[in-house]
Every structure is written in structure tokens, then in C-alpha cells.
């Protein structure tokens, strides 16, 4: 099980846009090999920033409206939100150190 909670259309605004801490959103799909490959790094970053930032996952197959709202055309896409707006993004595979550095810059 992932350290990152899944979010959907019903709770995205509350969990992400209204969050008092920065949020890393992992846009992914079950069939996506690179998404599965980056998942351990995303989980490690979630553990590293527990209490200081949130890490959540959005399955683009189940939540196409959210993916469309933020222009996600390729997965994995890791989007960092702060104060309800997008402040950074990583498209494609990235090492844990890169993900951690980008999220850490917003904490």
C-alpha cells in the first residue's frame, strides 16, 4: 500500500487546493510502467515530509476531469501545489532526490 493517499473529484479541492501545507500530487495509472517505477520514490518523499507536506495520488483513468483541469498529458506527472495553485511540476521519471528537493523548496 502506498504512503500517499488517493484523492478523487469529491475530495481534491479539500485535500489539495485548501491544504495548509504544500501538496505533491502524483498523477498516475495502473498500466503505466514508469508510474510504478517512480512510486517507491514518491512514497519515500511522503514519509520524509510527513507533517510538513502532503503527498497524494490521482489515478488519471478514474479521475480524467482532474487530470484535464491541470493539463496532464503524460504520466507520471508530479505536480506541487501551494496555497491552492501549481508552483512546480515534474513530467516523467525523476529520482527521489529531485522530487524531495522540489517539494522541500515549498515547505
Check 4, 7, 32, 90 and give the catalytic one: 32
The answer to whether 51 is a known catalytic residue is no
The answer to whether 32 is a known catalytic residue is yes
Check 24, 35, 38, 103 and give the catalytic one: 35
Contact assessment for residue 12 and residue 58, using Cβ atoms and an 8 Å cutoff: yes
3-state DSSP helix/strand/coil percent for the chain, to nearest 5? 35, 25, 40
Report the alpha-carbon distance of residue 98 to residue 9 in Å, rounded. Answer: 28
Contact assessment for residue 29 and residue 59, using Cβ atoms and an 8 Å cutoff: yes
Instruction: Point out the residues that are catalytic.
Output: 32, 35
Amino acid at each position: 500500500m502506498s504512503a500517499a493517499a488517493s484523492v478523487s473529484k469529491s475530495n481534491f479541492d479539500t485535500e489539495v487546493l485548501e491544504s495548509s501545507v504544500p501538496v505533491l500530487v502524483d498523477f498516475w495509472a495502473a498500466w503505466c510502467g514508469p508510474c510504478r517505477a517512480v512510486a517507491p520514490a514518491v512514497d519515500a518523499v511522503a514519509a520524509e515530509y510527513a507533517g510538513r507536506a502532503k503527498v497524494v495520488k490521482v489515478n488519471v483513468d478514474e479521475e480524467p476531469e482532474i487530470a484535464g483541469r491541470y493539463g496532464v498529458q503524460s504520466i507520471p506527472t508530479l505536480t506541487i501545489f501551494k496555497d491552492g495553485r501549481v508552483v512546480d511540476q515534474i513530467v516523467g521519471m525523476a529520482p527521489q532526490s529531485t522530487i524531495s528537493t522540489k517539494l522541500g523548496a515549498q515547505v
